[in-house]
Amino acid sequence: MNAIALPVRHATNKAMLASLLAELAQGDIPAALARHCHPDCIFDIFHPFNRIEGIHAAAERFWQPLRTAFPNAEQRLAFVIGGTYEGREQVSSWGHLMATFDAPWLGIPPTHGLIALRFGVNALVRDGRIAKAYVLLDIVDLMAQAGLYPFRRMPGSPAQWAFPPCDTGATALGADPEQGATTLAIVREMQMGLPKPAEFATLETSPSRHSHHWHPDMNWYGPAGIGSMRGQRGFRDFHGALFLQAFPDRSGRPRDPNGPEDGPGHYTQLGDGRYAVTGGWPSLVATHLGGEWLGLPPTGRRIEMRVADWYRLDADNRIIDNWVMMDIPHIVHQMGLDLFHDLGFITNPAQPRWPR
């Protein structure tokens, strides 16, 4: 495909994802999936859904129950970005599902009021339709909105994530792979410079090798349980210090660029204009050795982390926004804490405790 046609193809894919999400919120769910996805499309969805194969199963097990719980939903997209990674066309977005919470979902009782369910979608496009979709959900934040937050108080702010400024591009109406390549290169250089265990002792007083890539007043938006913060000091104090003490040996999973799409490491790395996304399923592995993270005691267990990061660069090519999705229910499930099992006893104290 020539250089002129490529941005057009990416823009088409971006518009297709935006249309799919709008139709899944308010239209005919089976028809929307059939129109925009391959019949055997694979959906990897944050825990407890995990993998669902095929559009019929996805409609029955995920999309229709979501509609039942949030019947007047609207997808508010922060931005949409598109590109190619490992020779595969991909598209990505995150946003808020705005809706009235009218029926139980995952054991969370309805509030009958407005909620904003944070979500992200990273999708693989083949022949103009989605062949695989990663659906990322901040379920813990929804629990908090329902008055059932399961952890200690968040070190960061629990406020809803802010969308980027309106004049910074990355809409579903076009694509900018040239600037996107610069953006992605800066993000990847920053990620490769993240501190290693031998550097942890000096992080409180000395900048790490990745610090110069960040705006001094950057915004880091984390999932519920961690929260959001502003500035490099805020990031170090309210997330970095706690996370690194809990997972001192954390490392990325190596990726075989010629391997399968669902192999370990980053399944996506895209740059589009001043925006970028990276994500893995899992992208990080670590041993849970410290007790600072979420207030949970160390388990000594080896943990896999499903993570996706979206980034925005400012006019000086510094990272000023970083929105981060982590599959918190899956992480704590590996530690031995089943949030949804516990929730059942909170919402229905009369149910039997003895195993049957």
Domain harbouring 297, CATH code: 3.10.450.50
User: Comparing 133-142, 151-160, 205-214, 243-252, which segment has the lowest mean pLDDT?
Assistant: 205-214
16 lies in the same domain as 108: yes
119 lies in the same domain as 188: no
User: Comparing 93-107, 108-122, 182-196, 336-350, which segment has the lowest mean pLDDT?
Assistant: 182-196
Domain limit, last residue, from 130, 145, 160: 145
Residue 177 has pLDDT above 80, yes or no: yes
Q: So what's the pLDDT on residue 118?
A: 98
Residue 311: inside a domain: yes
Residue 199 has pLDDT above 60, yes or no: no
What is the spatial distance between Cα 115 and Cα 100, in angstroms, rounded to a whole number?
Answer: 6
pLDDT band at 5 (very low <50, low <70, confident <90, very high): confident
Vertex 296: Cα angle to 294 and 299 (nearest 5): 130
256 lies in the same domain as 112: no
Residue 151 has pLDDT above 70, yes or no: yes
Q: So what's the pLDDT on residue 36?
A: 98
pTM exceeds 0.85, yes or no: yes
Average pLDDT on 186-194 reads 84
Average pLDDT on 303-329 reads 97
Residue 37: inside a domain: yes
Three-state SS string over the chain comes to: CCCCHHHHHHHHHHHHHHHHHHHHHHCCHHHHHHHHEEEEEEEEECCCCEEEECHHHHHHHHHHHHHHHCCCCEEEEEEEEEEEECCEEEEEEEEEEEEECCCCECCECCCCCEEEEEEEEEEEEECCEEEEEEEEECHHHHHHHCCCCCCCCCCCECCCCCCCCCCCCCCCCCCCHHHHHHHHHHHHHHHHCCCCHHHHHHCCCCCCCCHHHEEEEEEEECCCCCCEEEHHHHHHHHHHHHHHHHCCCCEECCCCCCCCCCCCCEEEEEEECCEEEEEEEEEEEEECCCCCCCCCCCCCCEEEEEEEEEEEECCCCCEEEEEEEECHHHHHHHCCCCHHHHHHHHHCCCCCCCCC
Residue 22: inside a domain: yes
198 lies in the same domain as 78: no
Domain limit, last residue, from 145, 169, 197: 145
Residue 154: inside a domain: no
Q: So what's the pLDDT on residue 212?
A: 86
138 lies in the same domain as 186: no
pLDDT in tens, 111-136: 999 999 999 999 999 999 999 999 99
pLDDT in tens, 215-224: 999 999 999 9
pLDDT in tens, 18-52: 999 999 999 999 999 999 999 999 999 999 999 99
Q: So what's the pLDDT on residue 205?
A: 53
What is the spatial distance between Cα 315 and Cα 338, in angstroms, rounded to a whole number?
Answer: 44
Count of structural domains, the chain:
2
Residue 30: inside a domain: yes
What is the spatial distance between Cα 300 and Cα 271, in angstroms, rounded to a whole number?
Answer: 36
Residue 355: inside a domain: no
pLDDT band at 174 (very low <50, low <70, confident <90, very high): confident
38 lies in the same domain as 184: no
Domain limit, last residue, from 99, 130, 145: 145
Q: So what's the pLDDT on residue 197?
A: 58
Question: Average model confidence (pLDDT) for the chain?
Answer: 91
131 lies in the same domain as 202: no
99 lies in the same domain as 51: yes
The percent of residues above 70 in pLDDT, for the chain, comes to: 94
Residue 109: inside a domain: yes
Q: Which carries the bigger pLDDT value, residue 234 or residue 206?
A: 234
pLDDT in tens, 278-297: 999 999 999 999 988 999 99
Residue 171: inside a domain: no
Average pLDDT on 323-332 reads 98
194 lies in the same domain as 339: yes
pLDDT in tens, 53-74: 999 999 999 999 999 999 999 9
Neighbours of 39 (CB within 10 A): 10
Q: Domain of residue 15: give its range.
A: 5-145
118 lies in the same domain as 197: no
72 lies in the same domain as 193: no
